[in-house]
Structure 1
Amino acid sequence: MSTTFAELSERIGAVGDIYARVHNITRTPDWYLLKLTEELGELTAEHLLLNGQARPNKDGSGGTREALENEAADLFGQFVLYLRANEIDIETAIERKWLRHLDKSADGSRPPVTAP
């Protein structure tokens, strides 16, 4: 089943609401950004552990592909929450900032426009 980004965002938003309610967290603008930083740190730790560049956890957890993927999912989910909280239309921003470069040729010039 294919899910649009908007649908995924709604579902992630619902989970974020549940999390905040269950843990009695007041989400402020700073909280969203700080939470992103926390999740990036956890992804970094798993990456280093998986690649043998960090000491194993004392309890033996982590250092698996699944743990890395779970931390990537946490980071992505928190990023979606950040976008929602800050009313950022990421699809429009990606089009404007990144995808416009697809119209350029390899040497950076625009390809010639031809009539249809």
Structure 2
Amino acid sequence: MHLDELATRIDAISARYAEIHGVRRSPEWALLKLTEEVGELAQAHLTATGQSKDRGLDPEEQRQEVAAELGDVIGMCLVFARQAGIDVEAAVAEKWLPHERPPGDAVR
């Protein structure tokens, strides 16, 4: 699945959530939700790495929580991009891919 297709599907889920709960979606709302999700990812990571209480979860459940929260962060990044009118594939390619090195090129 391409990132754009994933973004379309996640954005539709977000729109349905907003409709059900009476939320007005905007770039500001999406950015705040993204910030909330990053905080939850940090909390899950701290728990999984023994830097916070275990919350009654075993190590596998803690790993699953980190993965789930990462999914939320990525999903909200995609929602924010849609709300802000950003082509996420182009933005990532323009930011990261110019730094690629040819195979065998030494890191300097």
Q: Which band: TM-score by shorter chain?
A: 0.7 to 0.9
Closer, same or farther in 2 for the Cα pair 1:30/1:103, shift >3 Å?
same
Distance, in Å, in 2 between the alignment partners of 1:29 and 1:10 is: 16
Structure 2 portions without partners, runs of 5+: none
Question: Per the alignment, in what secondary structure is the counterpart of residue 100 of structure 2?
Answer: helix
Distance, in Å, in 1 between the alignment partners of 2:73 and 2:25 is: 16
Distance, in Å, in 1 between the alignment partners of 2:26 and 2:2 is: 27
Question: Per the alignment, in what secondary structure is the counterpart of residue 64 of structure 1?
Answer: helix
Is 2:10–2:75's contact at 8 Å kept on the other side of the alignment?
A: yes
Distance, in Å, in 2 between the alignment partners of 1:38 and 1:61 is: 21
Is 1:74 the counterpart of 2:72 in the alignment? Answer: yes
TM-superposed deviation, 1:49: 0.3
Distance, in Å, in 2 between the alignment partners of 1:84 and 1:93 is: 12
TM-superposed deviation, 1:40: 0.2
Structure with higher Rg: it is 1
Query: Where has structure 1 moved over 4 Å in runs of 4 or more?
Result: none
Give the aligned residue type for 2:6: L
Is 1:17 the counterpart of 2:15 in the alignment? Answer: yes
Distance, in Å, in 2 between the alignment partners of 1:71 and 1:50 is: 12
> What TM-score, normalized to structure 2?
0.84
Distance, in Å, in 1 between the alignment partners of 2:26 and 2:84 is: 11
> What TM-score, normalized to structure 1?
0.79
Q: Percent identity?
A: 38
Cα RMSD for the two superposed structures: 1.9
Is 2:47–2:54's contact at 8 Å kept on the other side of the alignment?
A: yes
Asked which structure has the greater RCO (Cα within 8 Å, sep 6+), the reply is 2
Indicate the larger mover: 20-29 or 73-82: 20-29
Q: What does 1:1-116 correspond to in 2, within 5 Å?
A: 3-57=1-55, 60-61=56-57, 64-103=62-101, 105-106=105-106
Give the aligned residue type for 2:36: E
Give the helix-richer structure, 1 or 2: 2
